[in-house]
Structure 1
Amino acid sequence: MLPPSLLDALRTIFAADALSVGEAERIAYSYDNSRLHALPDAVVFPTEHAQVESLAQACRTHKVPVIARGRGSNTTGATVPVDGGVVVSFERMNRILRIDPDNRLAVVEPGVLNGDLQQALAPHGFFWPPDPTSAPWCSIGGNLACNSAGPRTVKYGSPRENTLGLRAVAGNGEGFRCGTYTSKGATGYDLTRLLIGSEGTLALITEATLKLTPKPSAVRTLRATYRDVGSAARAVARIMAQPVTPCALEFIDDVALKLAHEHGGDSVPLAGAMLMIEVDGEPTTLESAVDAVATAARGDGLEELRVAQSAEETRALWAARKALSPAQRTISPNKINEDVVVPVSHLPALVDGIKQLSAKHDVLIVTFGHAGNGNLHVNLLPRDAAERERAHACLADVFALVISLEGTLSGEHGIGMVKREFMPLALEASTLALMRNIKTAFDPDGILNPGKLLP
């Protein structure tokens, strides 16, 4: 229950339809795609920066938690209000404020959907590179909060590399701007990159200035199948060691292919492993770029290499990747979806190690993902209570393996609630202490998204 004085303050800040304390609305904003849930005390729907400042000031006075929320597609519980408080849904701050092709930037509010932004940019010949699978329904604010990326990251970078500046509200209720409108800047600390990936624990983002990229004229798709996962992983290392960087390089292991084949039919090949590769560029140089990538893809263990010759064939080649999610859901509603990252040269060891851990713990594991930057989605698929218990022990071993290979716990999903306990495995105590000091500087009373990210 919120203190009556805070509730009165919220009614002053937000119009009647922009504040809800009804149970149905609170339930709707109590969970995200992690399947974790906790009821907030209220939900608010700001439409302007000033309201967010007033909200943070009022909640700080009463020591009440404030939890920023995009569209709830996060898989780590990052938007679950574990200590109650006020959920701030930014879905009504959904305006594209400015598209500036001459300066290759766009200014947007956090509630703009990734897919809607891409559609608005297309007539100008530009795109914003981050492209998570959830792009049609996830928000830019959510992408920034977790540094969510997608297949194109291998060539074009994550939100951190594609955001010029932010407007935000710190936990003390003070609004501020950081970053630039220019592609270069060396003026003080880089607070923009600090806020991106901080999962709403440092500040509430109310505006973002995004760096745009010209849309390539042409794209070619290749599909390579291999005898085993080791051969495919070594091919990834070869592809990334030559000058032409693909715009997508996706890895799918043998277990994933079998599941996708059972769900998607004969359009999905059965093999030891598969790579989906895309190369983009201008028509005059694209063929030589495709040849260079294809040459690197060839090697010991290659079974078949196909280059799509039409849009229809491209769709057919991607069928396996698209069949994966529904195929997994048929096996395990309790899927544990992790997104670990290792240096590309260590991919063969990661893939081999995961195979061994699957056998050791007797837990089905499906591995696929953005192999071009070493970011693999490790999906544990427990089917009953006993397997769920074994899966948690297996997950700890997976993270230990990743750290031993100079990797990190998350590439794009973030830490949220579900990976907090593993943070000391990834970071030294002194590093975590510095992070806590930064948290205190931005949020002295600890009201912003408590219970997330830091152990």
Structure 2
Amino acid sequence: MPSLLPPALAHALAALLGDGWRVDAETLRRYGEDASRRGVPAAGVALPERREQVVALVHACRTHRVPVVARGSGTSSTGAAIPGGGAVVVGFERMARILAIDPADRIAVVEPGVLNGDLQRALAAHGLFWPPDPASADTCTVGGNLACNAGGPRTVKYGATRDNVLGLAAVTGTGDLVTCGSRTTKDATGYDLTHLLVGSEGTLGLIVEATLKLAPLPSARRSLRALYADVAAAAAAVARLMRQPVAPAMLEFMDRHCIRLAREVGGADIPDAGALLMIEADGDAATVELATRALADAARGPGLLALDAAPDAAASEALWAARRALSPALRTIAAGKINEDVVVPVSRIPDLVTGVEALAAEFDLRIVAFGHAGNGNLHVNILFDPDDAAESARARSALPRLFALTLSLGGTLSGEHGIGTAKRDFMAQAFDAPTLALMRTVKQAFDPDGILNPGKVLPPAAA
């Protein structure tokens, strides 16, 4: 297959990167895909080892007006890491060094290719952890977490990625290396470019180093499982749990379809119910029991069917393993899955779930909801058979209705997956024209030639 790249650029990148420059068909295919199950082969794959190489390759690509797409390990479900036609994909697996762990200041300095799980294991030796904990932690990279502002169950207490990063170094679309933020937890100096870059999905800069804020690793954890007659009762319990002074470390929701799936596919020991909350307290041995009792008291109320505490760490882990297995398990019952991570105010969870059930009936589809109840962030999965043209069309038609429902409830399009291409065209429903225009102006300042991950996040401007 002839190269899509200008020969002068291909030659320059080969000289710059050596065996870190790949143009074989299998590599181009593999780096052109992500977990969204979309794919466009890359025009070339760059595997830099140092930030200086990232600077040089962006300069070279800018000279030839060739797009550059940053990629972690391809766990994006929104198509954010898929290259457009003729793009160079920059894979960061060779920039995977933990540069420093400073327990005194509770920070770590890392390169973007470090796997979240590897970082957690290194930090555990110091009694620390980094709070973002997506279900793909063992395979996703810190750079990818930063790119889409990843979260996970611990977000309810500890915040998402944006809340746990202090500083960044990144290469802009002009090929300039910029540094922002600091090693301090308080910083009122200038514009907050650090938190602007987090969640920008590689459209403003390629992150080459991050200074992360760490937390002490809790010495004790206790888990509760609360079963409710219906979603309204579970949502009322969420409101009670979030009003009282003890913050849950995790607060997860499953609808009745997920409960059945966790039991039948995941092997979880869960009886039928209208909804389930998984609640966790963490801390030290002296306080965790008090916290657990406070959370249990808040969980009790109208519609509660059963409230059980995990008797030991093994039982607790089995409970959470069933939760983590939910998303992969959905593939066992439907080959096609549209996985959306919409967010609504906690008080509107019942309206969201009721609306989702109405959409399932209207479009004759299986739609299941689970996720991070304490943040109002639910993963709504539209299941379909991709070989059934009619069912696939109904699934595609249900998606904009889901987003319209979410926005009507005061919610937003994504809590942790980001926008990519999957939700890009719905951004005009979430933001007014002046706000989108300002976002495009920011993009222009960081990337005047539009070479960084073009076609992602922002919809095309109206002609």
% identical equivalent positions: 61
Residue 422 (structure 2) pairs with residue 418 (structure 1): yes
* Alpha-carbon shift at residue 319 of structure 1 (Å): 5.0
Which letter does structure 1 place at the counterpart of 2:253?
F
What's 1:397 paired with? 401
Distance in 2 (alpha carbons) for counterparts of 1:266 and 1:189: 48
Q: Deviations over 1:31-62 (max 9, x none)?
A: 00001100111001001111011111110010
Distance in 2 (alpha carbons) for counterparts of 1:430 and 1:312: 52
Distance in 1 (alpha carbons) for counterparts of 2:54 and 2:324: 38
What's 2:297 paired with? 295
* Alpha-carbon shift at residue 325 of structure 1 (Å): 2.8
Residue 6 (structure 2) pairs with residue 3 (structure 1): yes
Distance in 2 (alpha carbons) for counterparts of 1:357 and 1:111: 40
What's 1:95 paired with? 97
Distance in 2 (alpha carbons) for counterparts of 1:317 and 1:113: 24
Q: Deviations over 1:144-171 (max 9, x none)?
A: 0000110000000011110000001000
Unaligned runs of 5+ in 1: none
CA spacing shift, 1:266–1:50, aligned 2, 3 Å? closer
Q: CA RMSD in A?
A: 1.1
The residue matched to 2:41 in structure 1 has which SS?
A: coil
The residue matched to 2:38 in structure 1 has which SS?
A: coil
* Alpha-carbon shift at residue 349 of structure 1 (Å): 1.4
What's 2:432 paired with? 428
The residue matched to 1:94 in structure 2 has which SS?
A: coil
Distance in 2 (alpha carbons) for counterparts of 1:66 and 1:307: 50
Q: Deviations over 1:377-432 (max 9, x none)?
A: 00000123212211122111111111111110000000001111110111111111
Q: Confirm or deny: 8 A CA contact 2:262 2:268 kept in the other structure.
A: no
Residue 331 (structure 2) pairs with residue 329 (structure 1): yes
* Alpha-carbon shift at residue 315 of structure 1 (Å): 2.9
What's 2:237 paired with? 235
Q: Confirm or deny: 8 A CA contact 2:43 2:88 kept in the other structure.
A: yes
* Alpha-carbon shift at residue 266 of structure 1 (Å): 6.1
The residue matched to 1:348 in structure 2 has which SS?
A: helix
Aligned length: 454
What's 2:156 paired with? 154
The residue matched to 1:331 in structure 2 has which SS?
A: coil
Distance in 1 (alpha carbons) for counterparts of 2:277 and 2:151: 19
The 5 Å alignment of 1:341-420 reads 341-383=343-385, 384-420=388-424
Distance in 2 (alpha carbons) for counterparts of 1:270 and 1:30: 42
TM-score after normalising by structure 2: 0.96
Q: Which moved more, 1:199-208 or 1:325-334?
A: 325-334
Unaligned runs of 5+ in 2: none
Distance in 1 (alpha carbons) for counterparts of 2:435 and 2:261: 41
Residue 35 (structure 2) pairs with residue 12 (structure 1): no
The 5 Å alignment of 1:85-124 reads 85-124=87-126
CA spacing shift, 1:316–1:8, aligned 2, 3 Å? closer
What's 2:80 paired with? 78
Which letter does structure 2 place at the counterpart of 1:12?
A
Q: Confirm or deny: 8 A CA contact 1:249 1:278 kept in the other structure.
A: yes
What's 2:319 paired with? 317
Q: Confirm or deny: 8 A CA contact 1:267 1:319 kept in the other structure.
A: no
CA spacing shift, 1:215–1:428, aligned 2, 3 Å? same
TM-score after normalising by structure 1: 0.98
Q: Confirm or deny: 8 A CA contact 1:382 1:388 kept in the other structure.
A: yes
